[in-house]
């Protein structure tokens, strides 16, 4: 109860003085003002209907004040009081006047009654039942955090609570815990609660923890009203260390089993086919196999998954696609392997010396080593830098292995002095496991014969005239370097008793024929340049006449040699002992060495044995040598072919 003071009374100084001259003294009145009061009750208006109902309890210790300046707030000089245990309050000894009664608002409460109208206090006025109803305008949100082992989004018997998990009210709805947002930790029973929260709409969220995935959807907006207790706002999570792993390997024999010899395949893309459409779509998890061919998907959320591989050009998957994989908490699915086979084929054959030029490899015809064979990818009949090539090995064999599926043209690189006697192979179609074998290339060496007579030119006219005798035992040689002297390695022969000499099996090319000057003799015929061409394969070129099936020898002085007679005649086979056999590689002037009758011709160079060239680098082909009838000759094909090294035909 608050008293504002005593009633007003008349003091002596305020009493009017009357004199005795005033005979009739009347109206000597005594006035009093009876003070007033204002009282009421403060109660909890549970149903917020603005009136006190049965069961609604008083609210003690609530501040009520007289708002003298009518500014709707409590100022320091304004009368105030506090409700008692019964929620009552009163202001007493109020002088006459008009008063505004107000309450000081409290957190989480809202006033359910309107502010009282101005109260006029007259003498003896006691204004009662100036009541204030308030409603506790707050509620509670509570729930449980649990380990949803089966990931079904509800707490089943046996699923344990999760303690110390942070739950928060996402006031700005950005799905993260910000400073100033209410938060709490779940207790040992996994429970949490936000109490006495003002009436409003809230989003409740959890702070995600590593290794867990939320199995329940985020709760929708929760509308908190006065005294509302909203429970079972639960969060389910499952601890997942689920993984899917396997191996990618080259299934060499395509048996769908990883054998000990099957190598791994690195850098192969494996993915989880979330929508089951058998292709890698944006957003689908994927990974690349490591150098050991292994792949792993870690921290896989519980669910059902299809594991697939991205197919690579030219490869065929030999293992079936894995079935659906069910991942639950702590599931590690292993051994999901993918086998692939690169369908390849091979082309192999041999190179032989077709001695009789009939296009058939007969038992007596030898193989040819170090001959370049290539795959003519663009079918232009020329070996281009990017085209696979190899050299025949010592047994004359060649092979191209690990060829991708396709159609191929196999060709040889022509060599000077040789003519191909077999037709070029028809296009070869290679598929998985296709092995084209016994592809053969036959060639014959194109050679000619250079022969003549050494004679005593009595009249020094440079022609063999009747009666001019032969000169025996004069050394005739082929001047390979045209330096007018017989050098080591240059073919030479002595004229026989009839003055005849002969160089047989001379490869295609141009040659200068000279003699070693006999003592006491003067040369009357100039040296000759003799051209052996591919269209003269077994010609006898006479140095004197210069003729051989329509061809002629040309002197170094550019004078054509003329026939001074026919006493030399055709060279009988019986006189061929004075022949010299030539062997060489194809060049402008052929390097010929050690040309002796019935002796092995010298090797024209030392070619390295480069062996077979292929993708697999499997040295399984042998090399042979070139045999020319009675002589064993190692043919050097010169520098007309430069090997390019092993090439991976599987990526052509």
Identify the CATH number of the domain defined by range 447-581: 2.60.40.10
Whether 536 has a pLDDT exceeding 70, the answer reads no
Are 344-445+608-633 and 447-581 equal in CATH topology? yes
Give pLDDT, residue 15. Answer: 55
Residues 6+ apart with CB under 8 A from 323: none
pLDDT, tens only, 17-67: 555 555 677 777 877 778 899 999 999 988 889 999 998 999 999 999 999
Give pLDDT, residue 559. Answer: 30
Give pLDDT, residue 14. Answer: 52
Q: Which of 44, 624, 105 is nearest to 367 (CA)?
A: 624
Instruction: Report d(CA 462, CA 409) in Å as an integer.
Output: 56
| DSSP-based three-state secondary structure for 575 | helix
Identify the CATH number of the domain defined by range 1-11+28-136: 2.60.40.10
pLDDT, tens only, 333-386: 999 999 998 888 889 999 999 988 999 999 999 999 999 999 999 999 999 999
pLDDT, tens only, 581-613: 343 333 222 222 222 222 222 222 222 222 222
Give pLDDT, residue 450. Answer: 87
Residues 6+ apart with CB under 8 A from 289: 247, 248, 264, 265, 266, 267, 268, 270, 295
Give pLDDT, residue 507. Answer: 78
pLDDT, tens only, 130-171: 999 998 878 899 999 999 988 899 999 999 999 999 999 999
Whether 68 has a pLDDT exceeding 70, the answer reads yes
Q: Are the C-beta atoms of 132 and 42 separated by less than 8 Å?
A: yes
Model pTM? 0.36
Domain spans, the chain: 1-11+28-136, 138-239, 243-341, 344-445+608-633, 447-581
The dihedrals phi and psi of 219, each to the nearest 5 degrees, come to -60, 145
Predicted confidence band at 572 (pLDDT cuts at 50, 70, 90)? Answer: very low
Sheet with 63-66: list strands edge to edge: 80-82, 63-66, 101-103
Residue with tokens 């061409």: 533
Token pair for residue 171? 């006031």
Predicted confidence band at 213 (pLDDT cuts at 50, 70, 90)? Answer: confident
Give the CATH H-level superfamily of domain 138-239: Immunoglobulins (2.60.40.10)
Give pLDDT, residue 329. Answer: 64
User: Pairing state of beta strands 325-327 and 303-305?
Assistant: antiparallel
Instruction: Report d(CA 276, CA 43) in Å as an integer.
Output: 65
Q: Which of 536, 423, 516 is nearest to 475 (CA)?
A: 516
Identify the CATH number of the domain defined by range 243-341: 2.60.40.10
Give pLDDT, residue 561. Answer: 25
Q: Which fold has domain 344-445+608-633?
A: Immunoglobulin-like (2.60.40)
Per DSSP, what are the bridge partners of residue 391? 372
Based on the number of CB atoms within 10 Å of its own CB, is 184 exposed (0-12), middle (13-18) or buried (19 or more)? Answer: middle
Instruction: Report d(CA 625, CA 635) in Å as an integer.
Output: 8
Measured CA distances, 320 to 4, 280, 293, 309, 375 (Å): 98, 18, 18, 11, 35
Instruction: Report d(CA 235, CA 462) in Å as an integer.
Output: 121
Token pair for residue 52? 């006190």
Q: Are the C-beta atoms of 346 and 435 separated by less than 8 Å?
A: yes
Length of the chain: 652
Residue 639: how many other CB atoms lie within 10 Å:
10
Give pLDDT, residue 11. Answer: 46
């Amino acid at each position: 109860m608050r008293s504002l003071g005593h009633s007003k009374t008349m003091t002596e100084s305020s009493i009017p003085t009357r004199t005795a001259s005033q005979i009739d003294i009347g109206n000597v009145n005594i006035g009093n003002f009876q003070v007033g009061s204002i009282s009421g009750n403060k109660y909890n208006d549970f149903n917020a209907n603005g009136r006190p109902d049965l069961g609604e309890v008083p609210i003690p210790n609530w501040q009520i004040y007289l708002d003298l300046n009518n500014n709707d707030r409590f100022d320091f000089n304004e009368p105030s009081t506090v409700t008692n245990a019964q929620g009552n309050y009163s202001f007493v000894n109020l002088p006459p006047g008009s008063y505004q009664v107000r309450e000081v608002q409290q957190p989480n409460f809202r006033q359910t009654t309107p502010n009282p109208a101005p109260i006029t206090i007259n003498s003896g006025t006691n204004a009662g039942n100036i009541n204030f109803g308030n409603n506790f305008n707050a509620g509670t949100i509570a729930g449980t955090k649990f380990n949803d082992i089966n990931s079904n989004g509800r707490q089943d018997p046996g699923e344990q609570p999760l303690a110390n998990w942070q739950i928060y009210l996402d006031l700005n709805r950005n799905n993260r815990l910000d400073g100033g947002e209410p938060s709490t930790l779940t207790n040992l029973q996994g429970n949490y609660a936000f109490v006495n929260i003002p009436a409003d709409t809230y989003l409740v969220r959890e702070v995600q923890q590593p290794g867990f995935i939320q199995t329940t959807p985020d709760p929708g907006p929760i509308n908190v009203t006065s005294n509302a207790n909203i429970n079972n706002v639960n969060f389910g999570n499952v601890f997942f260390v689920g993984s899917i792993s396997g191996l990618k390997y080259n299934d060499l024999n395509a048996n769908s089993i990883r054998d000990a010899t099957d190598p791994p395949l690195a850098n192969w893309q494996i993915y989880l086919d979330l929508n089951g459409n058998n292709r890698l779509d944006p957003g689908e998890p994927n990974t690349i196999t490591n150098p050991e061919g292994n792949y792993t998907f870690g921290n896989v959320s519980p669910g059902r998954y299809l594991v697939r591989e991205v197919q690579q050009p030219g490869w065929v998957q030999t293992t079936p696609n894995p079935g659906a994989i069910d991942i639950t908490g702590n599931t590690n699915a292993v051994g999901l392997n993918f086998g692939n086979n690169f369908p390849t084929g091979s082309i192999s054959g041999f190179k032989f010396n077709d001695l009789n030029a009939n296009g058939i490899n007969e038992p007596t015809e030898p193989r040819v080593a170090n001959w370049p064979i290539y795959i003519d990818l663009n079918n232009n009949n020329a070996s281009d830098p990017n085209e696979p090539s190899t050299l025949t090995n010592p047994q004359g064999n060649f092979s191209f292995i690990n060829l991708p599926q396709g159609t191929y043209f196999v060709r040889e690189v022509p060599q000077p002095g040789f003519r191909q006697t077999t037709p070029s192979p028809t296009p070869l179609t290679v598929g998985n496991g296709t092995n084209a074998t016994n592809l053969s290339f036959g060639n014959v060496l194109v050679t000619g014969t250079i022969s003549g007579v050494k004679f005593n030119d009595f009249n020094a006219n440079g022609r063999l005239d009747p009666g001019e005798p032969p000169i025996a035992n004069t050394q005739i040689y082929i001047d390979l370097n045209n330096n007018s002297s017989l050098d080591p390695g240059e073919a030479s022969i002595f004229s026989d008793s009839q003055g005849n000499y002969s160089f047989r099996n001379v490869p295609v090319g141009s040659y200068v024929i000279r003699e070693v000057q006999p003592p006491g003799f003067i040369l009357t015929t100039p040296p000759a340049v003799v051209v052996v061409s591919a269209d003269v394969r077994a010609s006898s070129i006479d140095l004197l006449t210069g003729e051989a099936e329509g061809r002629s020898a040309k002197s170094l002085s550019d004078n054509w040699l003329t026939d001074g007679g026919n006493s030399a005649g055709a060279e009988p086979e019986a006189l061929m002992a004075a022949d010299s056999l030539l062997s060489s590689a194809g060049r402008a002037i052929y390097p010929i060495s050690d040309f002796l009758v019935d002796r092995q011709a010298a090797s024209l160079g030392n070619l390295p044995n480069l062996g077979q060239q292929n993708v697999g680098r499997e040295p399984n082909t042998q090399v042979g040598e070139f045999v020319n009838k009675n002589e064993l000759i190692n043919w050097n094909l010169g520098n007309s072919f430069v090997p390019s090294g092993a090439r991976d035909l599987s990526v052509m």
